[in-house]
């Protein structure tokens, strides 16, 4: 019996890990911010898989020092639709294409004509569009597999790179209802279809860690790797929410909404898709708006200080759509949607409140779209992520959303992934 579990969260701003015992009690949380880099995949930027792996190794070594000499189960979550190609040895071929990379506009248009309306492969930032872009640009030479961020880390832990999970695979064209790669996609890819990994449900035991990983980290050689998930789903699992009428909003660098549904919901035009998670359907979407936009204008200390001057009960009248750059995924899927951040008032507190109101309106529109597609009405919202700690933002969101908003007791995606590892380990 495996008594200890480690969840690893590769987020947009850094990497986190959480250790749980057999009862689900946390034995410690570890974290590191991503280093600054150019983002060209060669100098330590966020799209450099070498940076991810070095950070994972460091956290696992630290975790091993806190644990007895006993096997552990490890699961990994990563940013949805962050894709990379690897060679036969599992080494990356070039930098990863990150979750919000929308350069594959032409490929997104191509998918519009061939992918079914319910497919999550639609959109310039989907993994499917990224794969077609890599093919067009000739960047698949020597590739034997394409994998998502979490899948690649899971593969490095095992020393094999041929399997992925149902949640990450969704935006790569995987059919979660039929539970297979669909014929339309295999036909479009032709020989490149061989690059698609075998897909298993999240939480599936995959095998033992590689001997080199055990030696390099100090983990027990009989430790197991469990199929992981995306960061948004991991954050949902951490909350323990099990009612369809309760929404879960992640206020991190980006804005992610999740809601349990009795049926799968799909609307590519609005960036809505559904995952199978532990035998249930989880619907939602991810906006490019969120905390990263706030960070582009204010330092954390400035936000904390300015928030004291906000008036959550009174609207500023500023009609902002806060984005870092053109392109949105949810509740509209438009790679060309421009940011709307003007006019900027001279009062910084009013400008900050306008940004927060804009993000809250996007959140409200997201839940409204889920309701229109068949989800039950949201009667309460549980919040995870850094923005959940801001009481003024919470009050402002309650006004705009019209339902109670509370902070989750547990909110770290790493915890949700550790719980997933615990569930998978119980089947061994």
Q: Are residues 198 and 257 in the same domain?
A: no
Which pLDDT score, from 0 to 100, does residue 333 have? 87
In a domain, 260, yes or no: yes
In a domain, 236, yes or no: no
Contact 31, 56 (CB under 8 A): no
Which pLDDT score, from 0 to 100, does residue 12 have? 83
Q: Are residues 403 and 359 in the same domain?
A: yes
Q: Does position 411 have pLDDT exceeding 90, yes or no?
A: no
Burial of 194 (0-12, 13-18, 19+ CB in 10 A): exposed
Q: Are residues 273 and 388 in the same domain?
A: yes
pLDDT tens digits along 219-264: 999 999 999 999 889 989 999 999 999 999 989 888 989 999 989 9
Q: Are residues 157 and 196 in the same domain?
A: yes
CA distance linking residue 413 with residue 9, whole number of Å: 6
Lowest pLDDT segment from 141-145, 265-269, 394-398, 406-410: 265-269
Which pLDDT score, from 0 to 100, does residue 271 have? 86
CA distance linking residue 333 with residue 97, whole number of Å: 18
Q: Are residues 204 and 131 in the same domain?
A: yes
Q: Are residues 398 and 271 in the same domain?
A: yes
Domain at 224, CATH number: 3.30.420.40
Categorize the per-residue pLDDT at 201 as very low, low, confident or very high, splitting at 50, 70 and 90.
very high
pLDDT tens digits along 150-189: 999 999 999 999 999 999 999 999 999 999 999 999 999 9
In a domain, 390, yes or no: yes
CA distance linking residue 411 with residue 26, whole number of Å: 13
Which pLDDT score, from 0 to 100, does residue 46 have? 83
Contact 247, 381 (CB under 8 A): yes
Query: Helix, strand, coil shares of the chain as percentages rounded to 5?
Result: 35, 25, 40
Which pLDDT score, from 0 to 100, does residue 42 have? 54
**Average of per-residue pLDDT across 264-293:** 92
pLDDT tens digits along 359-370: 999 999 999 999
Q: Are residues 19 and 107 in the same domain?
A: yes
Which pLDDT score, from 0 to 100, does residue 38 have? 45
Categorize the per-residue pLDDT at 138 as very low, low, confident or very high, splitting at 50, 70 and 90.
very high
Q: Are residues 184 and 63 in the same domain?
A: yes
Query: What integer best gives the mean pLDDT of the chain?
Result: 94
Q: Are residues 382 and 421 in the same domain?
A: no
| Dihedral angle computed from the Cα positions of residues 80, 81, 83 and 88, in that order, rounded to the nearest 10 degrees | 70
Secondary structure class of 152 (helix, strand, coil): helix
Contact 278, 202 (CB under 8 A): yes
Which pLDDT score, from 0 to 100, does residue 408 have? 94
Q: Are residues 255 and 391 in the same domain?
A: yes
In a domain, 98, yes or no: yes
Phi-psi sector, 419: left (phi>0), alpha (psi -120 to 50), beta? alpha
Contact 108, 123 (CB under 8 A): yes
Q: Which of 271-275, 284-288, 316-320 has the highest mean pLDDT?
A: 316-320
CA distance linking residue 34 with residue 45, whole number of Å: 8
Which pLDDT score, from 0 to 100, does residue 289 have? 97
Structural domain of 320: 241-407
Backbone angles phi, psi at 387, to 5 degrees: -70, -15
pLDDT tens digits along 68-82: 999 999 999 999 999
In a domain, 213, yes or no: yes
In a domain, 306, yes or no: yes
Q: Are residues 377 and 418 in the same domain?
A: no
**Count of domains observed in the chain:** 2
Q: Are residues 205 and 227 in the same domain?
A: yes
């Amino acid at each position: 019996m495996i008594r200890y579990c480690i969840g690893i969260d590769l987020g947009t701003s850094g990497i986190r890990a959480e250790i749980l015992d057999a009862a689900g009690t946390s034995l410690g949380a570890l974290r590191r911010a991503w280093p600054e880099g150019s983002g060209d995949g060669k100098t330590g930027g966020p799209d450099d898989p070498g940076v991810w792996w070095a950070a994972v190794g460091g956290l696992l070594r630290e975790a091993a020092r806190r644990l007895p000499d006993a096997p552990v189960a490890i699961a990994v979550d990563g940013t949805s639709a962050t894709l990379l190609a690897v060679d036969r040895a599992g080494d990356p071929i070039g930098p990863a294409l990150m979750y919000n990379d929308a350069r594959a506009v032409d490929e997104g248009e191509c998918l519009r004509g061939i992918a079914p309306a319910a497919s999550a492969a639609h959109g310039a930032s989907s993994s499917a569009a990224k794969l077609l872009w890599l093919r067009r640009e000739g960047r698949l030479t020597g590739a034997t597999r394409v994998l998502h961020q979490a899948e690649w880390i899971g593969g490095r832990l095992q020393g094999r790179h041929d399997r992925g999970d149902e949640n990450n695979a969704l935006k790569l064209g995987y059919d979660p209802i039929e539970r297979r790669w669909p014929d339309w996609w295999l036909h479009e890819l032709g020989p490149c279809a061989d690059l698609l990994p075998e897909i298993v449900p999240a939480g599936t035991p995959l095998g033992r860690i590689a001997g080199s990983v055990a030696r390099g980290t100090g983990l027990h050689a009989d430790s197991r790797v469990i199929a992981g998930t995306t960061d948004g789903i991991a954050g949902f699992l951490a909350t323990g929410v099990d009612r369809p009428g309760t929404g879960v909003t992640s206020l991190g660098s980006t804005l992610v909404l999740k809601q349990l549904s009795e049926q799968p919901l799909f609307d590519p035009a609005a960036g809505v898709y559904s995952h199978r998670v532990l035998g249930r359907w989880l619907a939602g979407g991810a906006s490019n708006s969120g905390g990263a936009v706030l960070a582009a204008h204010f330092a954390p200390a400035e936000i904390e200080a300015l928030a004291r001057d906000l008036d959550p009960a009174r609207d500023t009248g500023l009609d902002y759509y806060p984005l870092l750059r053109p392109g949105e995924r949810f509740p509209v899927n438009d790679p060309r949607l421009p940011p709307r951040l003007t006019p900027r008032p001279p009062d910084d507190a009013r400008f900050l409140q306008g940004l927060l109101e804009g993000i809250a309106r996007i959140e409200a529109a997201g839940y409204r779209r889920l309701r229109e597609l068949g989800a039950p009405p949201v009667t309460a919202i549980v919040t995870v992520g850094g923005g959940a700690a801001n009481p003024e933002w919470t009050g402002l969101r309650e006004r705009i959303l019209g339902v109670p908003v509370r902070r989750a007791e547990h909110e770290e995606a790493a915890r949700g992934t550790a719980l997933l590892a615990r569930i998978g380990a119980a089947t061994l």
